[in-house]
Amino acid sequence: MGARIMTTRKPVQVEVPVRARDAATIEGWMRPGELVLEDGTVLKGRSFGWPHATAGEVVFSTGMVGYPESMTDPSFCGQILTCTYPMVGNYGIPRSELHAVSGLDTALESTRIHVMGLIVSDYSEAHSHWRADRSLGRWLYDERIPALTGVDTRSLTRRLRDRGSMLGKIRFEDGETDFYDPNIENLAEQVSVSEAEVLGKGKKRVALLDCGCKHNIIHSLLARDLEVLRLPWDASLDDHEFDGLFISNGPGNPRFYRETVAQIRGAIANDRPTFGICLGHQLLSLAVGANTFKLKYGHRSQNQPVMDLRTGRCSITSQNHGFAVEPRTLKDGWEPWFVNLNDDTNEGIWHESGRFRSVQFHPEAAPGPVDTGYLFDDFAAMIGA
């Protein structure tokens, strides 16, 4: 048995700033509530957000971290988000830090929470992180977003996997609401900018069709020394000068974005280099004559494996979408680019000219891995930057 090594140095005492519990400061804290699904399932829990009824499509995400980024992702507009990881809230919400060029928050993916509600198994009432300036519960309350803890999220997720995403509502004893289906209306106006704006400076200008764009897409473009012309989802591209077109992510059914599809079709006809992400992938596909369909329960996680069909290269990706492209409906000159290795669904398309392409996943991450960040370099090369 080896000798025990002794040291005379005193252990360093580190004070970890643990926030006080919010129970005394938030009205309605831990008030009983229920999640009701359209199939009649009722799951009981306790409020840790805004204690008022809400409704939307109930979906689940398998990410272990990243709840601030996910909740502010405009793609979640109209949905009640279920976190499958059991403990949520332990690192609070990061303080706002603005990007030096864009002026946009680098910690969150938009200016507000977009989920209709949040469902977790175990909310951490106390949080600790060097960047945090408030608790998740405080943030939800201030933003008027309902949330339940103490819910059997394992059972809920299995039900959603077996039966597919369902409509649901969070209700309390003195509050009731009707079910709401975000897939039967155009959500673009709720998440897009209302006016054009120019961000950054560069030798090449990118027209960004904002259908609910995440901040990190903009930051990823600016990092390549590109000037970003951020446009509303239904803007006329003929009114602007640019070197390449970028189509963002966004919420809902892609078939409601008819104006955007028409603009993309025109850009391709004019031979403008074009790249789409997530919803942008679906809109580009519709513009070139392919079809989209609704997935049973979607891909919402930070661990989705995809393979580049041209190179055989595999990557782990962040994803958030409920619709997908049917690759068999692609026209001549178009080919599948990436495939999902879990369920073989399409994850990207490209044109034989090399000037038009799109991916279903999120190369900008936030949250999640940055394995596919090189695609922004590819786009910059497409437009000669």
Point out the residues that are catalytic. 278, 362, 364
Among 158, 184, 179, 161, residue whose Cα is nearest residue 169: 179
For residue 282, the Cα-to-chain-centroid distance in whole angstroms is: 15
Q: Are 336 and 323 in contact (CB under 8 A)?
A: no
Q: Determine how many CB atoms are found less than 10 A away from the CB of residue 25.
A: 12
Q: Determine how many CB atoms are found less than 10 A away from the CB of residue 298.
A: 21
Q: Are 199 and 228 in contact (CB under 8 A)?
A: yes
The full length of the chain comes to 385
Question: Between β-strands 197-199 and 132-134, what pairing exists: parallel, antiparallel or unpaired?
Answer: unpaired
* Phi-psi label, residue 67: left if phi above 0, alpha if psi -120 to 50, beta otherwise: alpha
Q: Are 326 and 291 in contact (CB under 8 A)?
A: yes
CA–CA distance from 243 to each of 206, 334, 341, 383 (Å)? 6, 22, 34, 6
Locate 213 and state its tokens: 């764009």
Q: Are 74 and 86 in contact (CB under 8 A)?
A: no
What residue has token string 């949905």? Answer: 79
Q: Are 123 and 89 in contact (CB under 8 A)?
A: yes
Q: Does the CA dihedral 171-164-118-193 come out positive or negative?
A: negative
Phi, psi of 116 (to 5 degrees): -80, -25
